Structure 1
Amino acid sequence: MYRHQRHVYDASRKYYLLGRDRLIARLQPAPGATVLEIGCGTGRNLIAAARRYPHARLHGLDVSSAMLDTAGRRVARAGLSSRIRLAEADATAFDPAVCCGAARFDRVFISYSLSMIPAWRDVVDGVPRLLAPGGALHVVDFGDQAHLPRWLRQGLRRWLALFDVAPCDDLPALLRAVAARSNLSVSVEPLYRGYARYAVMHNP
């Protein structure tokens, strides 16, 4: 799908992938912290995070080799190749030590990628093993659109389905269940009348 879309991805997605910059602003990693983006796509978010947090070490993984090719080129053009490490991997089953050279991370973030992964629940289940003490997962993705007009909600979902995107309606419940099993804390915030949601899972 992204062999061709990657060339116009960022120009088109900025109009409806809402909340991405809010997530980057809230990451707030300490100097020297390790940050992982799951489903890094074109590298747009990693580059923005690297510029905002110049003392953080960033990693990105994606299952699409085409997207990673674009990400690698963009990272190089931005002069950030020494600070951003990219890896091709399946988010549902990967060894972080092999892909990233780190077993755990101070921040993990997922921006509009869970809704594109058929086995997204497996990704969420695996998050606790990725979080260092004091680490946190930040997620922004499509919400349930509960407070949008019905016609708009139905039209949005039909349109998203054309791109194999399916909002993760039970994400809040799963996050809370995973957090409870691992003694983590979790918060979920609806954005833009439920168009999107922002969630944080924190390892004390």
Structure 2
Amino acid sequence: MRKKKDTFLNMLVSLFVITIVAGFSLGFVNDVTKGPIAKAKLERKIQALKLVLPKFDNNPVEDLKLIKSNQAKDSVEIYAAYADSKFVGTAIVGSTEKGFSGLIKIMVGFKPAGDIQNIVVLEQKETPGLGTKIKDKKFIQQYINKNPSLNNIKVKNDGGEIDALTGATISTRAFSEAVQMAYDVFKEENNNSKN
């Protein structure tokens, strides 16, 4: 009977030691990779800002504004762009959970009057070969230079002006919803800045 207790105790001590070593190892790896991951994420965001905004000379990332919106689960990111101290546009991160596979997160660049400068897809989990086409330039081109207050950016099946992706109408609707959400925030921010 004594031998069984010793074996059980040895296994328990071994398991405890392995757990401690594994925990410290994971913590160390997390600390080592946290900085590079954050830096890479920031670089992707800066690159997206350059793609969706007119030429700017300020640092929109430093001037990031976060606001709560009833249309988004998280805070909405707003990046104002200036060239020679003149306002040239705003980039807003729009999102929706209504994609075919859940979250679609985009960055929409707006000119001062509200026309869409460009759109970049930041995150999506849509069906490969179908819903992932929301990242294609040909699809996004339908939104460029449109002002959501003057143009109906819904899918044509819903009375709008946007051609749905074949086999991915749900993804197209969700994308349009995210664009509209970004525009609503843009409009609200412009109204607040005038008051």
- Whether TM exceeds 0.5 here: the answer is no
Larger proportion of helix: 2
TM-score, L = length of structure 1: 0.30
Structure number with bigger Rg: 2
Higher relative contact order (CA 8 A, sep 6+): 1
